[in-house]
């Protein structure tokens, strides 16, 4: 009996670390589309990945640092900004499927300071006119940007050193400040894109789990998926090879930007607090692991299940907003109605984006660190159309091979 249990344990460990087979498409659609912009200096560097039911085109073109002529690579860290929101959505979804949370629970059930909220009617000559909110703020609302909260609360404004996504305050403090500040409209009646709302959702996770949100995320999502390079505090060694930020210009080479007001150096010291709205650093390799998990309806490419199929289908891949508002689920852009041609995912402020289609097992990942116009978008989109319209051989895609190093 002991021998049988031992063999079972070995088999389980092997299956949990096996990597799903990926076939190289042998195509260069993205590279051909982007090369002229790299040659002109307009595009410093980019990573493009197209994935279609086991067949993948991977393009790393240009530089992570133009001045150093350091090539851009899949293992270079970069700030993913608002793509962090989807990670918060997954942690909320886990608690929902475990019966520890309902999306329609009042936020005040977990954070009592939200029991009474005030809606701002006007702000004239510095005098605010308010009325007491009639609608109950729910967990659903803070995760889908219909709660009425501004983009950032006062603890995270970027007008002083230490503000912004890579600064600010602890999540529980951010939530308390937000609860004591006027909201912009009655909860659930409109939409306003808000990092604050997502941070409030993360604070709810902290109360339910008794853990810091980032620690819960690491334990339940990052570690199981093998996302070893994704964290809020990149190491000094990682930052030496980061994808640097650039400002783009029309018909002129991009120029280096030391930092952005929302993302201030140093990136890993004591002024940095975890933010669920926009704070995670990651790599293209790690991003693939997360979004392929969503594409595979909760199962990572390493065979580890993070969420149940139905959980992804019902509250992540489709909108959780009222019918009269646009599509958005839990920290993810999502369609109003699910269908075989519908995609869900998220982008980030510096141009990053990843979208997946679970019906067709398709994925589009894009990594840059840029501010400004991106004239290559049309060419990039046409490259994607070419890739996804080609006939592919999907034999053997269900096989798991080797071990994750």
Q: What is the pLDDT of residues 312-345, one digit of tens each?
A: 999 999 999 999 999 999 999 999 988 999 999 9
Alpha-carbon distance of 109 to 111, in angstroms, equals 6
Q: What is the pLDDT of residues 125-159, one digit of tens each?
A: 778 899 999 999 999 999 999 999 998 887 665 54
**Cβ density class 98-118: b for 16+ within 10 Å, e for less:** eeebebebbbbbbbeebeebe
- Residue 9's pLDDT is what? 44
Superfamily of domain 23-83+214-393 in CATH is DD-peptidase/beta-lactamase superfamily (3.40.710.10)
Among the residue ranges 73-77, 283-287, 371-375, the one predicted with the least confidence is 371-375
CATH fold match for the domains 23-83+214-393 and 88-211: yes
Distance of CA 18 to the CA centre of its chain: 24
User: How large is the greatest C-alpha to C-alpha distance in the chain, in angstroms?
Assistant: 79
DSSP 130-174: EEE--SPPBHHHHHTT-S---SS-GGG-TTSTT-STTSS--HHHH
Is the model's pLDDT at 17 over the cut of 60?
no
Ordered by start, the domain boundaries in the chain are 23-83+214-393, 88-211
- Sorted by sequence, the CB contacts under 8 Å of residue 151 that are 6+ apart come out as 192, 193, 194, 195, 196
Alpha-carbon distance of 258 to 244, in angstroms, equals 8
Nearest to 28 by CA among 57, 51, 3, 53: 57
- Residue 398's pLDDT is what? 52
- Sorted by sequence, the CB contacts under 8 Å of residue 39 that are 6+ apart come out as none
- How long, in residues, is the chain? 405
Cis ω before 271 (30° cut-off from 0)? no
Is the model's pLDDT at 162 over the cut of 80?
no
- The domain defined by 88-211 folds into Beta-lactamase (3.40.710)
The sign of the torsion formed by the CA atoms of 110, 115, 121, 125 equals negative
Q: pLDDT over 90 for what percent of the chain?
A: 79
Distance of CA 277 to the CA centre of its chain: 9
Alpha-carbon distance of 402 to 384, in angstroms, equals 29
Is the model's pLDDT at 397 over the cut of 60?
no
More confident residue, 15 or 333: 333
Complete edge-to-edge strand list for the sheet that includes strand 252-257? 252-257, 245-249, 370-371
pLDDT band at 395, cuts 50/70/90? low
Nearest to 173 by CA among 148, 196, 149: 196
**Cβ density class 23-49: b for 16+ within 10 Å, e for less:** bebebebbbebbbebbeebbbbbbbbb
- Residue 241's pLDDT is what? 96
Q: Can you tell me whether residue 278 is helix, strand or coil? A: coil
pLDDT band at 401, cuts 50/70/90? very low
Q: What is the pLDDT of residues 38-55, one digit of tens each?
A: 999 999 999 999 999 999
More confident residue, 263 or 169: 169
Task: Kindly tell me the number of DSSP H helices and DSSP E strands found in the chain.
Answer: 12, 16
Q: What is the pTM of this model?
A: 0.90
Taking CA atoms, 272 is separated from 54, 65, 98, 196, in Å, by: 38, 24, 31, 16
Is the model's pLDDT at 4 over the cut of 60?
no
Mean pLDDT of 203-229: 98
Alpha-carbon distance of 234 to 400, in angstroms, equals 30
Is the model's pLDDT at 63 over the cut of 90?
yes
- Residue 161's pLDDT is what? 43
Among the residue ranges 98-107, 111-120, 298-307, 389-398, the one predicted with the least confidence is 389-398
- Residue 138's pLDDT is what? 98
- Whose tokens are 């493009």? That residue is 48
Nearest to 195 by CA among 178, 213, 207: 178
Taking CA atoms, 279 is separated from 32, 81, 186, 219, in Å, by: 33, 6, 28, 17
- Residue 10's pLDDT is what? 42
pLDDT band at 265, cuts 50/70/90? confident
Is the model's pLDDT at 212 over the cut of 50?
yes
Mean pLDDT of 217-236: 97
Q: What is the pLDDT of residues 266-277, one digit of tens each?
A: 888 877 899 999
Chain mean pLDDT for the chain: 90
Nearest to 53 by CA among 404, 396, 318: 396
- Residue 160's pLDDT is what? 42
- Residue 268's pLDDT is what? 81
């Amino acid at each position: 009996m002991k021998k049988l249990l031992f063999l079972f344990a070995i088999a389980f460990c092997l299956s949990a670390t096996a990597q799903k087979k990926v076939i190289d498409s042998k195509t260069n659609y993205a590279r051909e589309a982007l090369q002229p912009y790299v040659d002109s200096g307009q595009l410093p560097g980019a990573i493009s990945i197209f994935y279609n039911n086991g067949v993948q085109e991977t393009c790393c073109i240009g530089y992570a640092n133009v001045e150093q002529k350091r090539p851009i690579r899949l293992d270079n860290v970069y700030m993913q900004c608002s793509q962090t929101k989807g990670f918060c959505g997954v942690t909320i979804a886990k608690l929902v499927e475990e019966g520890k949370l309902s999306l329609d629970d009042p936020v005040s059930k977990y954070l009592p300071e939200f029991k009474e909220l005030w809606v701002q009617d006007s702000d004239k000559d510095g005098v605010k006119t308010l009325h007491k909110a009639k609608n109950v703020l729910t967990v659903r609302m803070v995760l889908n940007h219909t709660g009425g909260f501004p983009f950032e609360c006062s603890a995270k404004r970027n007008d002083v050193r230490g503000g912004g996504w890579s600064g600010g305050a602890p999540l529980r403090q951010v939530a308390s400040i937000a609860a004591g500040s006027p909201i912009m409209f009655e909860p659930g009646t409109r939409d306003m894109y808000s990092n604050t709302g997502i941070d409030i959702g993360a604070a709810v996770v902290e109360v339910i789990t008794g853990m810091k949100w980032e620690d819960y995320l690491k334990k339940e999502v990052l570690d199981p998926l093998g996302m070893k390079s994704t964290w809020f505090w990149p190491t000094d060694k990682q930052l030496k090879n980061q994808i640097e930020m650039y400002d783009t210009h029309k018909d002129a080479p991009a120029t280096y930007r030391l930092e952005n007001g929302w993302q201030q150096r140093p990136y890993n010291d004591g002024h940095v607090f975890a933010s669920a709205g926009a704070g995670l650093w990651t790599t293209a390799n790690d991003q693939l692991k997360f979004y392929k998990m969503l594409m595979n309806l909760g199962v990572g490419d390493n065979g580890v299940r993070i969420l149940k199929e139905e959980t992804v289908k019902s509250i992540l891949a489709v909108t959780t907003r009222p019918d009269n508002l646009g599509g958005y689920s839990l920290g993810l852009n999502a369609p109003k109605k699910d269908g075989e041609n519908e995609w869900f995912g998220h982008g980030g402020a510096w141009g990053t984006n990843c979208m997946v289609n679970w019906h067709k097992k398709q994925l589009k990942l894009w990594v840059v660190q840029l501010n400004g116009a991106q004239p290559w978008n049309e060419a990039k989109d046409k490259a994607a159309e070419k890739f996804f319209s080609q006939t592919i051989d999907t034999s053997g895609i269900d096989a798991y091979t080797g071990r994750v190093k």
